[in-house]
Structure 1
Amino acid sequence: MRTKPVLTDDDVKAMAAAAEAFAKGHQWNVTIAIVDDGAHLLHLHRLEGAGASTVDMAIGKARTAALGRRETKAYEDTIKQGRTAFLSAPMNAMLEGGVPILVGAEMVGAVGVSGVKSDQDAQIARAGIAALGIENV
C-alpha cells in the first residue's frame, strides 16, 4: 500500500486566504472553490460583487480540474482547436480557471475561480495554490 498526501483544513484555509487576497488586491470580484482529489467541495466563497453564475462555474472548474487531473485550459484549447466533439465529455466547466493541486505526481485537489477573464481566474487559483509552498507543475 502506498501513502498519499491529502489537503488538510489548514491547507484549504491558507489557499482560500491567499486566493482571496490576490483577487481583492486586483479588485476582482470572483467566486473561489476548492475541492479534494475526488472533486468534493471543501471551500466556497463568493466575494462581494461577484455574479451569481460564478458560483456554479467556479465549482465546475474545480471539479473538472480535479477529475481530469489537468488545468481546464487544456480542455478549452482542445475545443478551440476544432475538436468540438469534446463538448460532449462529462465535464461541466471546460474554460480556463480550474487548476489541479499537485504534490509531486499526486493530484490532491483543485482550485476553481470564476468572475473575471479566464486567464485572471487561473492567476487567482495559482496564487491560492502557491500558499502551500509546493511546486505545482
Structure 2
Amino acid sequence: MRALILSLTLVLILGLGTAHSAPVKTHLPGDLTLEEAQTILTAALHKAKNIGIPMNIALVDAGGNLKIFAREDGAFLGSIDIAKKKAITARFFNMPTSEFGAAAQPGKELFGIEATNDGLVIFGGGELLVRDGVIIGAIGVSGGSVMEDTAVAKAGATALQASSTSFKKSF
C-alpha cells in the first residue's frame, strides 16, 4: 500500500510539473545560432571558392562545441582535425590563433601550450565570432596556406558582423 501511494504521488508530481511548466529554453541567448553559423559558413565557402583552394571549415559555439562543419571536395583529410582545433583554440583562449601562436613561440611565455587540451593549433586560420561585443563562437579553417586559411576565416567572421548589423537595421 505504501508503495502504491508513493507511486501515485510521483505520478502526480511529475505529471503536474510537466503539464503546467513553461517551455524549457535549450539555447542560451549569447550563443551562436544555426542560422548565423550557416551565414558564416556560406561566406567562408564563397571566399574559399574565390581563392581556388578546397578548405575544411569548422564553427564552434560559445562553449567550444562543434556547431557546423564543411569539407569541400578535394580538401585534405588531415585538415579536418586542424580546422576544428583552430576554432577550438581561438574560442578557448579568446583570440585569433595567429595572435595566440605569437605568444607560444620558443622563448615566449606560452611556449609548449599547444600540447595541452588534447592539442591546440597555434598558427593562423582561427578567428573569433563576436556579436554585440560578446564572443559567441569561433571559426577554424584549414586546407591552404596560413594566409589563405586566415583570409577564409576572416571572411566568415566578417559575415557575422554584416548579418548582425543588417538584423539590427530591420527593427
Relative to the length of structure 2, the TM-score reads: 0.71
Q: For this pair of structures, how many residues does the alignment match?
A: 133
Q: Which residue of 2 aligns with 1:73?
A: 98
Measured after TM superposition, the shift of residue 26 of structure 1 is 1.0
Measured after TM superposition, the shift of residue 85 of structure 1 is 3.8
Measured after TM superposition, the shift of residue 130 of structure 1 is 1.6
The percent identity for this pair of structures is: 28
Contact 2:96 2:126 in 1 (8 A): yes
Match of 2:122 among 94, 98, 101: 94
Q: What are the residue-to-residue correspondences of 1:8-47 with 2, within 5 Å?
A: 8-47=33-72
For structure 2, list consecutive stretches of 5 or more residues without a partner in the other structure.
1-27, 166-171
Kindly report the root-mean-square deviation, in angstroms, between the aligned alpha carbons of the 2 structures: 1.9
Letter in 1 for 2:120: N
- Structure 1 outlier segments of 4+, above 6 Å: none
Measured after TM superposition, the shift of residue 89 of structure 1 is 4.0
Measured after TM superposition, the shift of residue 48 of structure 1 is 1.0
For structure 1, list consecutive stretches of 5 or more residues without a partner in the other structure.
none
Measured after TM superposition, the shift of residue 129 of structure 1 is 1.6
C-alpha separation in 2, matches of 1:87 and 1:41: 19
Q: What are the residue-to-residue correspondences of 1:112-131 with 2, within 5 Å?
A: 112-131=140-159
C-alpha separation in 2, matches of 1:108 and 1:66: 9
Q: Is the radius of gyration larger for structure 1 or structure 2?
A: 2
- Higher mean C-alpha deviation, range 79-88 or range 8-17: 79-88
Q: Which residue of 2 aligns with 1:53?
A: 78
Measured after TM superposition, the shift of residue 97 of structure 1 is 0.7
Measured after TM superposition, the shift of residue 33 of structure 1 is 0.2
